[in-house]
């Protein structure tokens, strides 16, 4: 039973560029959340998707957008990259049920130069 998978594992981009990160949820899960983790800090909530719609959003600018596909996989897009966007981007999947645990992938390490 595959867990949450993310691609790519590492990525280097230049300021101003755009990036797309991908996530496949754990088998049986229908909800995908994205988190940003800066070095030495806990993950911060970006947004959550289920039924192909953004359901809740954290304190991130509109440069961060996402998408969920009918097979529950998801993409995170970041436009006009800033140096401060360098971080580990984590995808987590869960059941839609309230208070069901989130299961995380190993993340994509994004470096903006």
Partner 1 sequence: GENVGLHLPTLSVQEGDNSIINCAYSNSASDYFIWYKQESGKGPQFIIDIRSNMDKRQGQRVTVLLNKTVKHLSLQIAATQPGDSAVYFCAENNAGGATNKLIFGTGTLLAVQP
Q: Kindly list the residues in this chain that would bind partner 1 in the complex (CB under 8 A).
A: 4, 31, 33, 37, 39-45, 48, 55-56, 58, 88, 90, 92, 94, 98-107, 109
Give me the residue label for tokens 């970041």: 78
Work out how close the CB of 16 gets to partner 1 at its nearest, in angstroms, rounded to a whole number: 25
Q: Which of 3, 6, 1, 2 is nearest to 90 (CA)?
A: 6
User: Least distance from C-beta 109 to partner 1, angstroms?
Assistant: 7
In which residue are the tokens 């230049």 written?
A: 14
* Closest approach of partner 1 to the CB of residue 73, in Å: 17
- Token pair 């800033």 is at which residue? 82
């Amino acid at each position: 039973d595959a867990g949450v998978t993310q691609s790519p594992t590492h990525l280097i981009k230049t300021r101003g560029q755009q990036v797309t990160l991908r996530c496949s949820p754990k088998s049986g899960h229908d909800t995908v959340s994205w988190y940003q983790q800066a070095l030495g800090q806990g993950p911060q909530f970006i947004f959550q998707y289920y039924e192909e719609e953004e359901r809740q959003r954290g304190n991130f600018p509109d440069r961060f957008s996402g998408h969920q596909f009918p097979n529950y996989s998801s993409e995170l897009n970041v436009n006009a990259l800033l140096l401060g966007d360098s971080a580990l981007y984590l995808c987590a999947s869960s059941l839609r049920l309230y208070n069901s645990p989130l299961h995380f992938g190993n993340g994509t390490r994004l470096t903006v130069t």
